[in-house]
Amino acid sequence: MEQHWKKIWIGSAGNMVEWFDWFVYASFATYFAGSFFPEGNDTAKLMNTAGIFAVGFFMRPVGGWLLGRVGDRRGRKAALTLTVTLMSASAVLIAAAPTYGVAGYGGVAVLLVARLLQGLSVGGEYAASATYLTEASAPGRRGFASSFQYVSMTAGQLLGLGLLIVLQHTLTSAELHDWGWRIPFVVGALGAAVIFYLRRNMLETETYQEADDTPQGDRGTVRALLRHKREALLVIALTMGGTVAYYTYTTYLTKYLSNTAGLPKQTATLVSFCALLVFACLQPLAGALSDRIGRRPLLITFAVGSTFLTVPIMTLLKHAGSFWPALGLSLLALLVVTGYTSINACVKAELFPTGVRSLGVALPYALANAAFGGTAEYVALWFKKSGIESGFSWYVAGCAAVSLVVYLTMRETRDIDLKRVGGGPGTEEPGAEEPDRAPAPLA
């Protein structure tokens, strides 16, 4: 059990730093947008920085393919070490990027390159950590263990927001806009260096070491993945609603509260911080629940809630007016999203055999994120600029409705044997259930 927790700790800590670097771009965008673009409308500047944020997502399929292949052929440890190296390099580039006043659009070019590197890194990080945490967990505890992926993702975002709150109270607004926004990227680069050391010494999962279900030449190849087209399409479809809702209530929430609801930036940031803190604590509870009742009930609960509550929640948030109403509505939204975030990592990992698991999670998930998650903020700002901001709420609800259909028709994955699923002729079909067994106790 001690080895299981050690693997979960190292995998989660690295994931936290990766996502800190990824999310501080969005958290600090309101402060550095004016540094890289000429004077103009504030919403237009945010759209420009959101556009670069979205571009990072379009590198995620490339990262998913490249690093997913590394994870399946060289091991989960090798992929996780490479992802944090790329993220560290990107953080350094953003921290040192010249402003528009110094280099014109040259600074935008540096920002773009850094964001592309971040997309490459995160495209592999999600799948590598999802696969690692799922395979490293004790039998009957996969939902609980893999839920720490979103605990660590949210912790990274909380650290970013916490640093923003500290800087808001220690620096003037002018200092933050001028040079203070560079601080989190320096912190991220240093954190990534520490994680690189930890991951160099981490243990490989037993499931990967013992795998013999896929010939070595086929491991991590698109050819091998195409033998599991149904599962790959399933990952795309079940990700669609979840990723849009997640990015709406995390990265976009602070901007929505300040740019639309009219809350001061400091209040909007504090709302996001408090809501995300509770959200992180909910993940292991929901993950443990899925080990007892299955994955599908939680996914269906998320999709039903997101389909029917998104429009009312976003409408009320627009008129929240103060901290407490905004916090209450944000918590309600994130409670709904927990049904997806707490278990989506293990659900996707459970669909594929060991020899193609990392690529099978990475590439379809990255494609779905590029199309829906990465563009969520940009789509939201486009609706706002077009004068039909409420249309975005219906867009989020519609994406959740599509995923609801998938959740209602997919098979349960909780009891699948990770060492047997899709292992070749004579094994059970991916997604088929094993005989019922009692899950491990929660304590």
The 3-class SS string of the chain reads CHHHHHHHHHHHHHHHHHHHHHHHHHHCHHHHHHHHCCCCCHHHHHHHHHHHHHHHHHCHHHHHHHHHHHHHHCCHHHHHHHHHHHHHHHHHHHHHCCCHHHHCCHHHHHHHHHHHHHHHHHHHHHHHHHHHHHHHCCCCCHHHHHCHHHHHHHHHHHHHHHHHHHHHHHCCHHHHHHCHHHHHHHHHHHHHHHHHHHHHCCCCCHHHHCCCCCCHHHCCCHHHHHHHHHHHHHHHHHHHHHHHHHHHHCCCHHHHHHHCCCCCHHHHHHHHHHHHHHHHHHHHHHHHHHHHHCCHHHHHHHHHHHHHHHHHHHHHHHCCCCHHHHHHHHHHHHHHHHHHHCCHHHHHHHCCCHHHHHHHHHHHHHHHHHHHHCCHHHHHHHHHHCCCCHHHHHHHHHHHHHHHHHHHHCCCCCCCCCCCCCCCCCCCCCCCCCCCCCCCCCC
Q: Does residue 121 contact residue 366 with C-beta atoms inside 8 Å?
A: no
pLDDT band at 31 (very low <50, low <70, confident <90, very high): confident
Per-residue pLDDT, averaged over 11-17, amounts to 85
Distance CA 314, CA 331 (A): 12
Q: Does residue 346 contact residue 414 with C-beta atoms inside 8 Å?
A: no
pLDDT band at 217 (very low <50, low <70, confident <90, very high): low
| pLDDT for the residue numbered 10 | 81
Q: Is the pLDDT of residue 343 over 50?
A: yes
Does 419 or 268 have the greater pLDDT score? Answer: 268
Q: Is the pLDDT of residue 126 over 90?
A: no
Q: Give the chain's mean pLDDT.
A: 86
Percentage of the residues of the chain whose pLDDT score is greater than 70: 89
Does 371 or 278 have the greater pLDDT score? Answer: 278
| pLDDT for the residue numbered 429 | 40
Distance CA 199, CA 195 (A): 6
Distance CA 363, CA 347 (A): 15
Per-residue pLDDT, averaged over 23-47, amounts to 73
Distance CA 350, CA 139 (A): 13
* Domains parsed from the chain with CATH numbers: 2-205+227-409 (1.20.1250.20)
Residues 6+ apart with CB under 8 A from 211: 353, 354, 355, 419
| pLDDT for the residue numbered 38 | 65
Q: Is the pLDDT of residue 55 over 50?
A: yes
How do residues 101-111 score in pLDDT, each as one tens digit?
Answer: 787 778 888 88
| pLDDT for the residue numbered 1 | 55
pLDDT band at 290 (very low <50, low <70, confident <90, very high): very high
Residues 6+ apart with CB under 8 A from 417: 434
| pLDDT for the residue numbered 212 | 60
| pLDDT for the residue numbered 156 | 92
59-68, 175-184, 199-208, 298-307: least confident range: 199-208
| pLDDT for the residue numbered 39 | 64
163-167, 330-334, 391-395, 430-434: least confident range: 430-434
Residues 6+ apart with CB under 8 A from 106: 98
| pLDDT for the residue numbered 22 | 81
| pLDDT for the residue numbered 413 | 94
Q: Is the pLDDT of residue 420 over 60?
A: no
Q: Does residue 152 contact residue 16 with C-beta atoms inside 8 Å?
A: yes
Does 429 or 126 have the greater pLDDT score? Answer: 126
| pLDDT for the residue numbered 248 | 95
Phi, psi of 441 (to 5 degrees): -60, 155
| pLDDT for the residue numbered 378 | 83
Per-residue pLDDT, averaged over 191-208, amounts to 88
CA angle in degrees (0–180, nearest 5) for 17-18-22:
115
The 3-class SS string of 358-387 reads HHHHHHHHHHHHHHHHCCHHHHHHHHHHCC
| pLDDT for the residue numbered 441 | 38
First-to-last C-alpha distance (Å) of the chain: 12
Does 58 or 44 have the greater pLDDT score? Answer: 58
Distance CA 268, CA 318 (A): 12
| pLDDT for the residue numbered 43 | 64
pLDDT band at 46 (very low <50, low <70, confident <90, very high): low
Does 443 or 428 have the greater pLDDT score? Answer: 428
128-142, 241-255, 368-382, 426-440: least confident range: 426-440
Q: Does residue 83 contact residue 196 with C-beta atoms inside 8 Å?
A: no
How do residues 369-415 score in pLDDT, each as one tens digit?
Answer: 888 987 898 899 899 989 999 999 999 999 999 999 999 999 999 99
